[in-house]
Structure 1
């Protein structure tokens, strides 16, 4: 369902969901994130991507760093990458990352590889502030991932990562919104949605 532009509704919803997540004690988030990590580990084993793009943890989001450390160490042929935010309105690029990579910080204060090889990951782990039953996500409102997924070729498998507190009845997607292929929360795995569902 496409609806008229409703930035105010989304902004209020985003602020509420991010605020609730950041207000959660670390002791409350830890078991949720541990369950998410276990489900992601199983999904990576199932899909066996040669490369994974992930994000540096931000504002109480799931921290994929320990998972990526183990995933890379298990097979020297695997590659991981982090996003690099470019000019406003432009898609992100991804640079290879290892635990030894020199890092810089972008305009949001988020670390990214200071230099290195640009790649198109086979799979992306994408943080979601909110999500609905059709795989649509609520991000931070800048449209980085929508533009990036639309631009990258071949299109990576998009895995939305969230906590169940962010589950919504219906996000009411806009025409530019792209569904995730999979959603992973502490409760388990949902999908495939979107393009992958049509190909199944």
Structure 2
């Protein structure tokens, strides 16, 4: 790794911590209000998918489970990501309210049963993001690897709070551009997405 890559890696590591800390400043009421506004914007711009994958909210991420529940009532299947191996793409397992969840190696609630499915829409949490459509995750690269290989590629919709908007995440060659970014302020379709 050259000096520039090392510098960018260190910068991203520090930025990840800062982004989580920013969200942690939201009290429960503000978090719920902002999450509800994100759900409202998602409803306004997206049709009901056949299979929606979403992430169980951790580290003060937006809670968009309300739209998942609504889409399920409209006939969609819901799925949660599953880490099947280190440095491998994610798999997606069906989920409903009665699905047993266990914490995976990263502390994320994950289904222990259910069929594996191919989502046509993925709601991805935005640890940090920029207007160009790039997402700063937690550094594992799982979603980037997954989006790079899923065929057909699902619609990738980032959900996050405006307090995590950045001028640039300094995208690297492996970073996958999102199709939509939705925050409490509205929905953005990045240019060239």
TM range (shorter): over 0.9
Separation of aligned partners in 2, 1:79 and 1:193: 30
Report the equivalent of 1:127: 125
What residue in structure 1 maps to residue 49 of structure 2? 49
Describe the superposition over 1:88-118 as per-residue Cα deviations: whole angstroms up to 9, x where unpaired: 1111100111112122221122111112211
SS class of match (2:46) = helix
- Mark the runs of 5 or more structure 2 residues left unpaired by the alignment: none
In structure 1, runs of 5+ residues without a counterpart are none
Q: Which residue of 2 aligns with 1:141?
A: 139
Conservation of the 8 A alpha-carbon contact between 1:180 and 1:193 = no
Question: Quick check: 1:188 aligned with 2:186?
Answer: yes
1:64 aligns with 2:60: no
Tell me the matched-pair count. Answer: 189
What CA distance in whole angstroms lies between the structure 1 residues aligned with 2:4 and 2:50?
39
> What is the aligned counterpart of 2:28 among 26, 29, 32?
26
The equivalent residue for 2:154 is 156
Deviation at 1:180, TM superposition (A): 0.5
Q: Partners in 2 of 1:44 and 1:192 — Cα distance?
A: 15
Aligned counterpart for 2:172 among listed residues 167, 171, 174: 174
Give SS of 2:36's match: helix
Partners of 1:4 and 1:174 within 8 A in 2: no
Displacement after TM superposition at 1:193 (Å) = 4.5
List structure 1 segments (4+ residues) > 4 angstroms apart after TM superposition: none
**Alpha-carbon distance in structure 2 between the residues aligned to 1:111 and 1:43:** 28
- Provide the residue aligned with 1:15 in structure 2: 17
Between the aligned partners of 2:140 and 2:91, the Cα distance in structure 1 is: 15
TM-score (norm 2): 0.92
Judge conservation of contact 1:182–1:193 (CA < 8 Å) in 2. Answer: no
